[in-house]
Structure 1
Amino acid sequence: MHEFKLPDMSCGHCLKAVTEALKGADERAEVQVRLEQKTVQVESQLSRDQLAEVLTEAGYPPA
């Protein structure tokens, strides 16, 4: 499981965008977003670097 801090994530729209981006890259990914903590936990076949790239391309670069 990988955890990322996403300082730019601030609302429900952000939560949906992050989830959709991760699921788009790996449809089997397990995604748990904690909006208040601005974190996302991802269980995926993709590497940490690949997941970070997906998040960055979606507009939510990990800190």
Structure 2
Amino acid sequence: MATNEYQVTGMTCGHCEMSIREEVSQIPGVEDIQVSAQTGKLVVSSDAAIDDAAVLAAVDEAGYSAVRS
């Protein structure tokens, strides 16, 4: 299993977390998503290598910005 961690800016609440979770969950192969508005962290686990560009685009689609940490 591959796991990547990202730092997300702009999250302030549970709704923010839910929006990001919804977008990232649409990426093929994603198995688990952990997102925290409190820490600003997003951890994505998948059954194969994760495409950073797809994750960053999904976070952007949710209305936030992220960088790989």
Both structures adopt the same fold (TM-score exceeding 0.5): yes
Q: Identity of paired residues, percent?
A: 24
Higher helix share: 1
Q: Report the TM-score, using the length of structure 1 for normalisation.
A: 0.82
Tell me which residue corresponds to 2:19.
Answer: 17
* Over 4 Å off, 4+ runs: none
* Structure 2 spans left out of the alignment, 5+ residues: none
Letter in 2 for 1:58: A
Residue deviations 1:14-55 (CA, integer Å, cap 9, x gap): 011011111122374310112211111001344112111111
Q: Map of 1:1-63 to 2, 5 A cutoff?
A: 1-26=3-28, 28-44=30-46, 45=48, 46-63=50-67
**Amino acid across the alignment from 2:34:** Q
- How many residues are treated as equivalent by the alignment? 63
Relative to its length, the structure with more strand (as a share) is 2
Q: Partners of 1:19 and 1:27 in 2: how far apart?
A: 14
Gaps of 5+ in 1: none
* Residues 1:30 and 1:8: Cα distance change in structure 2 (over 3 Å): same
